[in-house]
Structure 1
Amino acid sequence: MALIQNVHHVHTRSLPPPAARGGSCSSSAAPAPRRQPAARIPSSPAPSSVTTIPLRPSRDPPIWTPPPTSSPPAASPPPPLPWLPAGSASDPPPRPTPSSPSCATTAYPAQIAQLLRAAPHVLLSDPDKIIRPKLRFFDSLGVGATVLAQSNLITRSLDKFLVPCVEFLRGIVGTDANLRTALTRRPCFLGGLNQRKLRPAVENLRRHGLSDEAISKLIVLNMGVLGMAPNRIAVIFEDLEALGLPITDPRFVGCFACMSMLKRETIWRRMALYQCFGLSQCQVARAVMTQPQLLNLTDGNIQRKLLFFQDELKIALPQVIALPKILTFSVEKNILPKCAVLSLLMREWKIQRSINLLGSLGVSAKDFSERYVKKYEKDLPDVVRAYEGKLKFEGFMAQDIEPCRSQAPVF
């Protein structure tokens, strides 16, 4: 009512006097409803001398007001990517179990990225007609997404290559477990095989005297031997014979598999490198036949490990090469923590100083922990810190390892 009265007041003051309108002001004025309503007042602004209240909202842009204190509804999580298990976007996806369906081919973002870097044209394939049947095929074999991401198997034809090759390999290795092991060890080798050369390669191994059981073990260890040239296979047989390893020796298959993954020049160069440290050819040959992984060590790694045992531990290298397994251990992650524990126990008189050092260093991490860490951790808590690498190994005393240097075997 107050707003209407103000508007009526403004309207009556803006009208001219009655004389100017050509009529007289009658005492019987028209009823109030017949007067001009407030809605018919012109939109022109009133004189500056009159204070008015605008009837329409201003056309100026509205002033920004802060949002309400109540938080907006949370956005729904994005849909899961293909091949990804359903779950929260912030939580890591649950690890599949062997009993869950399609657990083998469950892939994670890192594996998908690795696969796309190796075979980007997979994105052009039909996911339902091409990709999904291959995933189901490998899932039935128990081959996981990690194996597929390390090879280009997903790009090979299912009916023309994958199924025939897998069926042929199953007939050679015998069981699905052996087949799964072979595919997991060297997945890239299957993708590089030539289907027409598989059977001739097996026949070539048989002509050299390998039994079917030995061929099965060899393929499980190194499937790539099926893609090797016949003359390269013949050279490996000759080299193993020159080392004095007969084909009937149980170690023959392991040595053959290891040498088949290296060039012949690399093999003989590394064997000569061992001899440069004063080891005889017979000592090196026996070590390689017992532990063929010695040939997989790089030249720099061989030199560094031999110098460590010779200069830091003061142990004769003939004794070290007599236990070749110890050369395959990591110095930083395995040998040095064990040395720190043994040195601490010797100085605290917990173990004898005439301990067989190489025998203690050559045991597995589990056995070493049971013998020297858990056994003394209550009386000497520092052994735990030493085994974790928090206590630096400062070397053995001369009298601690002197007996070890006099036990070097002679061949």
Structure 2
Amino acid sequence: MANTPYPQSYYAASANAVPPRPVLQGEVETDVCVIGAGYTGLSSALFLLENGFRVTVVEAAKVGFGASGRNGGQIVNSYSRDIDVIERSVGPQQAQLLGEMAFEGGRIIRERVAKYQIQCDLKDGGVFAALNSKHMGHLESQKRLWERYGHTQLELLDERRIRDVVACDNYVGGLLDMSGGHIHPLNLALGEAAAVESLGGTIYEQSAAVRIERGANPVVHTAEGKVRAKFIIVAGNAYLGNLVPELAAKSMPCGTQVITTAPLGDALAKTLLPQDYCLEDCNYLLDYYRLTSDKRLIFGGGVVYGARDPANIEAIIRPKMLKAFPQLKDVKIDYAWTGNFLLTLSRLPQVGRLGDNIYYSQGCSGHGVTYTHLAGKVLAEALRGQAERFDAFADLPHYPFPGGQLLRTPFAAMGAWYYGLRDKLGF
């Protein structure tokens, strides 16, 4: 049987040691079968176990193999489209619920880290950096919007103040969110998996779901076994494939690229990001970066539509890094990797139910670290019969990409080209 290892990333190389997990063989019974051991699946499993459900997780590769173990590691609040967009497209009650939930995911992460003593290098503080006056105006509006929903840990940074947090001359200002921050994302997933197992949950690795047998008592089939359950949670996101055709039609896997430098040393690292905050800029095709616990710079950006792996990741991302930090021109790149996230046409997550007992959440659209942790709580609430918050997400309108699966990649790439041009021209 195929054994899928982690990609050769900095995160895999620095992951906490964990015991091997078994392959599913034979038949098991459970209350809830979760497909996917990324953040959505692990968060769902934890909340369900804490509420007395029996939970079995099946994972095609290893815990955190997908976006959960490959992302930039930044705790960023709200959704890929902000609350003002939601307010314009849904009714006031639904908008209020979604707005209130926009800042919950980060709190859940911190609660999990504290409760289960997860070692994942958690640091507080995230910065949105403005490259021009238009970006700065957007950040001023964003601060007012978020404060309207009770989120007050925000500080606008003028051109002088942003120099205090990042050694880059490209920014005219920014917005500091102290409830943002950063983590070692794979170690967070591994810690959450250990928490699942500490509560009696079971995780099977190298056990891809190949078929779902729907009905009153659904069954998840893998190559060597099956799980009979009362409920199923589909949490495969960009790595789900065509297991559930209804979900594949309204989403598209996209790749993003990340590089990690050799260790910079304490002195150089502190000059780059003196407060050890993470940062992302305000472009549509944004760059993001942060320091690791061993004083490397992780720098990510770029989007490959259709999730193809670029031939030379360093050639794509290193110039972006040097544009921000030309002082790193002689620094070696130790790791370069790509990972997939799932894009929806609206850039809002898709949440729903198929029949009476198959629940799903997908399509974080590049904004998943916090949202996925919230999603697990919302899905667990729905299985317990508390569906108000689940329904607020499930009622969001979603549409298939124009032209179906054949044309969704070129259409999305065309749109990205347009917004990339706007980024360059500053309008």
TM class by shorter chain equals under 0.3
More helix by share: 1
Q: TM-score, normalised by structure 1?
A: 0.21
Bigger relative CO (Cα 8 Å, ≥ 6 apart): 2
Q: Which has the larger radius of gyration?
A: 1
Q: TM-score, normalised by structure 2?
A: 0.20
